[in-house]
Structure 1
Amino acid sequence: MIAIKNIYYMLSYAFTVLNKKGYRKLETENFENADDLYAAILIKGLSNQLRRGLQHEYTETKEALSMVRGKINVTDSIKNLDVINKKLHCSYDEFIVNTYMNQIIKTILILLLKADISKERKKKIKKILLFFNQVDILDNRKIKWNLRFTRNSQLYKMLISVCYLVNERLIQSNSDGSKQFMEFIDEQRMSRLYERFILEYFKKEFPQLSVTASYIPWSVDDGITSMLPTMKSDVMLSYKSDYLIIDAKYYAKTLQNYYDVHKIHSGNLYQIFTYVKNLDMNLKEYSVRVSGMLLYAKTDEKLVPDNIFQMSGNQISVTTLNLNCDFREISKQLNQIVFEHFEI
């Protein structure tokens, strides 16, 4: 379980735009559920964006006009008999607000109006929607989330990411002709937020460390790697000659249960072991120490992993991070990982 307020802190680290002064008020508010939190973040973010203006983009428009605008398409003008009607077929660029990102935001805002959020926030969303009159609505089940962002659109990146989380929690279904909503937590989506939070937390709180999500090269004898899968760490911490690869895992169940015997997920253990051994082999000549850690988000299970293994000369640890507590305790847990491993 994750305390609702802690989702805000996780987002704050994952998207640094939330660390700005204008969002600090949200830290003192209480939220009934995650949707209420997401709504508050979107309202605040969009209120800031509206002061600067919503995203616009140029799009090519083609139509028959009585006055010349942009480029004249002679062939289409003759073909469509526009000349007879004293018109010319023109193509021109139009600066519109009906962008795909704005369409996503409007779609999610409308979904939130039907969700379990406070009346005050619903009222604020309705006011914001007035600025989206010229924006189309999408089918939320067919939204394409693979978008490109620039340095100047970091606020939009955060807004779209929150919209993504909202959409995964609110799935529309039809029952007896009436629209209902089913709430669920998507492990994969929360897993991505969890991974990014861990990475950005260490980046901000421990500037003396090198903190990356690095690719790990295969250590092969013949140099042929064309058919091998890519190895990319969630988090790689390094300080002087010490390396710690962290694989952040967010599951509903942290352990496998086989005939009432609890085991660590075999695939997870194989993966972190492979990462560690390949990095160790690649850096062997530099006399470094490479360790690995499976860091699970703590669940409601009574039995949770807390183990340290010595495997072929490398340390592999398996532990959990409790996200259902005061954020100061979460910070303490993460800090302890660094203090124990790097002794700084």
Structure 2
Amino acid sequence: MLQTTEAGSIKLTNIIDDQRMSSLYEHFALEYYRRHFPELNATPSSVPWDIDDGFTEFLPAMKTDITLCLGERVLIIDTKYYGSTMQTNPFFNSRTVHSGNLYQVYSYVKNKDKSHSGLVSGMLLYAKTDEEITPNTTYHMGGNTITVKTPDLNCEFMEISQQLNGIVEENFA
């Protein structure tokens, strides 16, 4: 489809917009783990709220992109495909992980790990961009591990595979 942007020039509409790319990335990662690690039972899953009084009215549903399980160990992966993997805080002139993303995966992990076993971990899996700084770090929060990974998808499939396999090795070895 051609779109006119200004007098005398035309451009092709982006065939795959960011929303579709985000969905494609999520499904690619899910299907990769299903195919290459069937023992991890890769699936999107619902996480019930750890509610004390049973009152859940108005609470949003929590649905993971990918949940990997092996025995008692659980890794909840939230995939993110953005033009920018970091957010900028102009007041402090700093770059951080998107706060909403971190709160989301933290909430999944803490609600899933009702027994406070520490066996449930979370991961933000950003697709690498051309930014100079890309988050690849691990945090230990309240007895659980939250990791941020940024695999490079702009390479041969063998390299992408090694990056995704490394996630399994780090979490289930």
Q: Same fold (TM over 0.5)?
A: yes
- Report the equivalent of 1:221: 52
- Report the equivalent of 1:131: none
Match of 2:109 among 263, 270, 276: 276
Q: CA RMSD in A?
A: 1.9
| Structure with the bigger percentage of helix | 1
Runs of 5+ in structure 2 lacking a partner? Answer: none
Contact 1:243/1:288 (8 A) holds in 2 = no
| Cα separation, 1, equivalents of 2:119 and 2:2 | 47
Contact 1:256/1:262 (8 A) holds in 2 = yes
Q: Whose Rg is larger?
A: 1
Contact 2:2/2:12 (8 A) holds in 1 = yes
- Report the equivalent of 1:265: 98
Contact 1:241/1:288 (8 A) holds in 2 = no
Does the alignment pair 1:325 with 2:155?
yes
What residue identity is the alignment partner of 2:142? S
Q: Percentage identity across aligned positions?
A: 51
- Report the equivalent of 1:188: 19
Task: Describe how 1:119-134 pairs up with structure 2 within 5 A.
Answer: none
- Report the equivalent of 1:289: 119
What residue identity is the alignment partner of 1:327? F
| Cα separation, 2, equivalents of 1:250 and 1:214 | 20
Q: CA deviation at 1:183?
A: 3.7
Contact 1:219/1:278 (8 A) holds in 2 = yes
Does the alignment pair 1:309 with 2:142?
no
Contact 2:67/2:74 (8 A) holds in 1 = yes
| Cα separation, 2, equivalents of 1:305 and 1:175 | 38
Q: CA deviation at 1:224?
A: 1.4
What residue identity is the alignment partner of 2:119? R
- Report the equivalent of 1:128: none
Contact 2:118/2:144 (8 A) holds in 1 = no
| Cα distance change on mapping 1:261 and 1:179 into 2, 3 Å | closer
Q: CA deviation at 1:175?
A: 5.6
Q: CA deviation at 1:225?
A: 1.1
1:273-322 C-alpha deviation (Å, 9 max, x unpaired):
000000001xx28x571000001000000111011101000000111010
Match of 1:205 among 14, 19, 36: 36
| Cα separation, 2, equivalents of 1:171 and 1:277 | 48
Contact 2:3/2:13 (8 A) holds in 1 = no
| Cα separation, 1, equivalents of 2:4 and 2:67 | 41
| Structure with the bigger percentage of strand | 2
Contact 1:171/1:181 (8 A) holds in 2 = yes
Task: Describe how 1:41-190 pairs up with structure 2 within 5 A.
Answer: 170=1, 172-173=3-4, 180-184=10-14, 186-190=17-21
What residue identity is the alignment partner of 1:192? S
With CA pairs under 8 Å and 6+ residues apart, which has the higher RCO, 1 or 2?
A: 2
| Cα separation, 2, equivalents of 1:273 and 1:289 | 14
